[in-house]
């Protein structure tokens, strides 16, 4: 059976765990060679790589903080060194922190915008230098929080609304180079980060499930399968879209 992404090379930022790890694994299962990027969790990234290699895929782990331009340049230099080209970028790295209005500080604001928006733009800027003449696919991981704005999420929601605007703008800007740009906007997905933030149990999760028409929260594979679609030729005439993958939660 022909794999959908055979011969492709993908970079997935923030791929040591959670949604990013799931996307890296699914891209590799469809034949892509994957660069598993991480900022701090080396062990997690190496576990993801080991799992991909065990399953017969190709992957390497590369440390880089997407908030740092020199790190971003090194990430793509290492990608070229390992696999010789680039076809797919998944901008998954992101941070979230919720705060009431009176608790919002400049530090809180800049921490989230620097990673979630500026980091995504700078990573895309560098990636575009490495795409070949056939173009490629940029997939931004946004959130339903871009439009489903909740209390204490003003800054986080603003970053994701910005990601959606960047997606639409870059889709038009890069179309002449056959580079497609789309975003996936997940609802609540069960990840290590969600549990660490205390959002994986209790009233918050019950309320979220009750508001979700499909009556469950997401799993990383729910997002990863859509990433494979947006990375592949199956979505060859789709660009500038924000696709809610949220069980109907809006």
C-alpha to C-alpha distances, 236 to 129, 143, 172, 181, 182, nearest whole angstrom: 21, 23, 15, 11, 11
Which of 76, 83, 96, 156 is an active site residue? 156
Asked about 96 being catalytic, the answer comes back as: no
| Contact between residue 38 and residue 44 where contact means Cβ atoms under 8 Å apart | yes
Cα–Cα distance, 22 to 76 (Å, whole number): 21
| Contact between residue 144 and residue 246 where contact means Cβ atoms under 8 Å apart | yes
| Gyration radius of the chain's alpha carbons | 17
Locate 78 and state its tokens.
């290492």
C-alpha to C-alpha distances, 200 to 23, 191, 203, 218, 223, nearest whole angstrom: 20, 8, 9, 11, 17
Cα–Cα distance, 82 to 103 (Å, whole number): 44
Cα–Cα distance, 135 to 110 (Å, whole number): 32
DSSP per-residue codes, 193-250: HHHHTT-SSHHHHHHHHHHSTTSS-B-HHHHHHHHHHHHSGGGTT--S-EEEESTT--
Locate 176 and state its tokens.
């002449």
- List, by residue number, the catalytic residues: 156
């Amino acid at each position: 059976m022909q794999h959908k992404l055979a011969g492709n090379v993908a970079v997935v930022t923030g791929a040591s765990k959670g949604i990013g790890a799931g996307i890296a694994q699914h891209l590799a299962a469809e034949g892509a060679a994957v660069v598993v990027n991480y900022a701090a969790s080396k062990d997690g990234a190496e576990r993801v790589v080991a799992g991909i290699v065990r399953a017969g895929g190709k992957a390497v782990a590369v440390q880089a903080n997407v908030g740092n331009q020199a790190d971003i340049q090194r990430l793509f230099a290492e990608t070229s060194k390992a696999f010789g080209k680039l076809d797919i970028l998944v901008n998954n790295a992101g941070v979230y922190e919720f705060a009431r209005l009176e608790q919002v500080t400049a530090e809180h604001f800049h921490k989230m915008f620097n990673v979630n928006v500026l980091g995504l733009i700078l990573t895309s800027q560098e990636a575009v230098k490495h795409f070949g003449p056939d173009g490629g696919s940029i997939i931004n991981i946004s959130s339903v929080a871009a439009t489903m704005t909740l209390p204490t999420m003003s800054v986080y929601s603003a970053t994701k609304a910005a990601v959606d605007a960047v997606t639409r703008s870059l889709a038009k800007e890069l179309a002449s180079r056959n580079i497609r740009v789309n975003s996936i906007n997940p609802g609540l997905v069960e990840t290590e980060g969600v549990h660490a933030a205390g959002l994986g149990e209790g009233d918050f999760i019950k309320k979220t499930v009750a508001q979700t028409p499909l009556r469950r929260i997401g799993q990383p594979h729910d997002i990863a399968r859509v990433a494979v679609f947006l990375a592949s030729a199956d979505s060859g005439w789709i660009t500038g879209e924000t696709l809610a993958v949220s069980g109907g939660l809006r």
